[in-house]
Amino acid sequence: MRVRQAVPRSARPRWARLRGSVLLGRFQHPAQVVVTGFGLAILAGTLALSLPAASTDPEPVRFLDALFTATSAVCLTGLVTVHTEAHWSVFGEIVIMCLMQVGGLGLMTLATLFALLLSGRIGLRARLATQTETKTLGAADVRHVVLRVVAFSAVCETIVAVVLTARLVLGYGEPFGRAVYLGAFHSVSAFNNAGFALWHDSLVRFAGDEWMILSICAATMVGGLGFPVWFELARNWRRPRTWSMLTRITLLTSSVLLAGGTVVLTAAEWGNPRTLGAMAVPDRWLAGLTAAVMPRSGGFNSIDVSQMRSESWLVTDVLMFIGGGSAGTAGGIKVTTFGLLAFVLWAEMRGEPHVNIGYRRVAEATQRQAMAIVLLAVGLVVGATFVLLAMTPHSLDQVLFETVSAFATVGLSTGITDDLPPAGHVLLVVLMFVGRTGPLTLATALALRDRARRYELPEERPIVG
């Protein structure tokens, strides 16, 4: 058996020492690599969209429009300052589609896949970085997980693209080439929960078309639930008692939010002649289902959001803030966080000493992490809403809707995105970036190292409430 001898650091070539000190020495936590990777993807997308070939407008592309669109695509949001189908050329649309795919799979997942294809080997630091992005539970099987994530995404996007292409050809008379292009673009956008559409009214023209609407809704929900949930269901779908806590919380919370959101939004808009009121009864329920699915980070709309009632905006705000599943393409604080805090509240109301879900007890560190995520998210949304209110004449419900949509990387809008000043667009860019990378991920990336406390202080219980 051959034994490899370690090469002293001083004996390594100068480029190897520089690479180790610059690329690895400055990133003490994998989360820093993830945040930096997303930032570089946004920069590359901004430069590509700034090219004259990316726009149909003879005037040069504004840097802020290119930055906003690139951030929205990489962060899977869908908010736009210019109309996608009218402003960007085919080259620009392809750039946006590639950015959505990169954002959906995760830069660390793609980087790991490329490393496997080139060398067949992967280092521990790269494993940890990919684990941070995909939120897998172990670093030993990252290679297997990455390949399954890529294969799962490709299969789902292909199926949806085929269905959309066939429907556009047979039902709407689109030329085959154009239908394939539209099907592929909207399949990538839907599965990755990006919300970009090549129709100026999003899905409003298809509000009563079950094939188009249900296909895009299904892709949105599949991508938004999260890869770990689907992988576990594929293994143990016949044995619910063996499901992990993540799968239990995700499925239960998602089902409750989907059913409740459909009923509440349909009832709220039932008599509104500007949204559901002018539709047939079956189409109303289909549009109500879409209105409940898309705030989970989908970003498409089959009714005019700007014409919805204030109470519907509020319900949509809540759904957007919660978002979708962990390790998926959805944004928000995640249904796992929301569901976990619901169980914490239930245990506290019952006087239970511990929080139990199924046959497992929730660790106290996990409860603190969930609380930290919610508090950070609330603080960011409130602060950004205050700033936007100070710089725009729009109402509170409109500004809050826009802020939550950006932070939760949803992409729905009441129509005020174009009217915001440049400073407002920059603020939304920051919100989209933070919403995609995650408040805790960003905070961890800025920290140089974990701090361990070597002593414990005496316990005291202040009055709460």
What span, in angstroms and rounded, lies between the C-alpha atoms of 96 and 77? 12
Q: How many CB atoms lie within 10 A of CB 367?
A: 16
Task: Catalogue the E-assigned strands of 244-289.
Answer: none
Give the confidence band of 462 by pLDDT, cuts at 50, 70, 90. Answer: confident
Residues 339 and 239: beta-carbon distance below 8 Å: no
Q: What pLDDT, on the 0 to 100 scale, is given for residue 176?
A: 96
Q: How confident is the model at residue 321 (pLDDT cuts 50, 70, 90)?
A: very high
Structure tokens at 257: 């939010």
User: Cβ(100)–Cβ(436) under 8 Å?
Assistant: no
The percentage of the chain sitting over the pLDDT mark of 90, rounded to a whole number, equals 58
φ and ψ at 239, to 5 degrees? -125, 80
Q: Is the pLDDT of residue 402 over 80?
A: yes
The length of the chain in residues reads 465
Confidence at 427, pLDDT banded by 50, 70, 90: very high
Distance CA(298)–CA(126), nearest Å, equals: 30
Angle at 399 between CA 394 and CA 403, to 5 degrees: 155
Average pLDDT over residues 220-248: 86
| Percent of the chain residues past pLDDT 70, beyond the cut | 82
Categorise residue 106: left if φ over 0, alpha if ψ from -120 to 50, beta otherwise: left
pTM of the model: 0.86
**In 13-92, at which residue ranges do the beta strands (DSSP E only) sit?**
none
CB 344 within 8 A of CB 453: no
Question: Does the pLDDT of residue 23 top 50, yes or no?
Answer: no
Does 99 score more than 60 pLDDT?
Answer: yes
Query: Between residues 55 and 16, which one has the greater pLDDT?
Result: 55
Mean pLDDT of the region 329-354 = 89
What pLDDT was estimated at residue 219? 95
Write the CA distances from 379 to 331, 375, 382, 404, integer angstroms: 17, 6, 5, 11
Span between the terminal Cα atoms of the chain, in Å = 67
The predicted pLDDT at position 31 comes to 65
**Sorting pLDDT into bands at 50, 70 and 90, what band is 238?**
confident
Q: How would residue 380 be classed by pLDDT, with cut points 50, 70 and 90?
A: very high
Q: How far apart are the C-alpha atoms of 216 and 299, rounded to whole Å?
A: 11
Q: Pick left, alpha or beta for residue 120 (phi over 0 → left; psi -120 to 50 → alpha; otherwise beta).
A: left
Tokens of 340: 């976990």
Packing angle of the helix pair 245-269, 310-322 (nearest 10 deg):
170
pLDDT of residue 458 exceeding 80, the answer is yes
Return the structure tokens found at 345. Answer: 């509240």
Interaxial angle between packed helices 364-391 and 422-437, expressed in degrees from 0 to 180 and rounded to the nearest 10 = 170
Give the integer Cα–Cα distance in Å for 254 and 224: 10
**Distance (Å, whole) CA 295 – CA 320:** 5
Among 87-96, 206-215, 420-429, 437-446, whose mean pLDDT is lowest? 437-446
- Given this model, what pLDDT does residue 189 score? 96
Task: Find the helix or strand (DSSP H, E) in which 361 lies.
Answer: strand 360-361
Give the pLDDT of residue 440.
57
Average pLDDT (395-416) is 95
Q: Supply 423's token pair.
A: 């400073």
Per-residue exposure over 21-34, b if at least 16 CB sit within 10 Å of its own CB, e if not: eeeeeebebbbbbb
Q: Which residue type sits at 73?
A: A
189 and 196 Cβ atoms separated by less than 8 Å: yes
pLDDT tens-digit readout, 447-457: 444 556 677 77
Within 106-192, where are the H helices? 107-119, 124-134, 142-172, 176-191
Average pLDDT value for residue range 91-98: 96
DSSP-assigned beta bridge partners for residue 55: 88
The band of 29, judged by pLDDT with boundaries at 50, 70 and 90, is: low
Residue 289, both tokens? 């289902």
Question: What pLDDT shows up at residue 442?
Answer: 56
> What's residue 17's pLDDT?
43
Q: What does the pLDDT read at residue 235?
A: 85
Alpha carbon 189 to chain centroid, angstroms? 11
Instruction: Categorize the per-residue pLDDT at 19 as very low, low, confident or very high, splitting at 50, 70 and 90.
Output: very low
Query: How far apart are alpha carbons 385 and 397 in whole angstroms?
Result: 10
Query: Around Cβ 392, how many Cβ atoms within 10 Å?
Result: 17
Query: Given this model, what pLDDT does residue 9 score?
Result: 45
Q: How far apart are CA 455 and CA 175, in angstroms?
A: 71
Residues in Cβ contact with 393 at an 8 Å cutoff, skipping those fewer than 6 apart:
none
Domain map (residue ranges) of the chain:
24-445
Q: Residue 348 corresponds to which tokens in the numbers above?
A: 């506290």
Mean pLDDT in residue range 65-69: 96
Instruction: For residues 53-58, give the mean pLDDT.
Output: 92
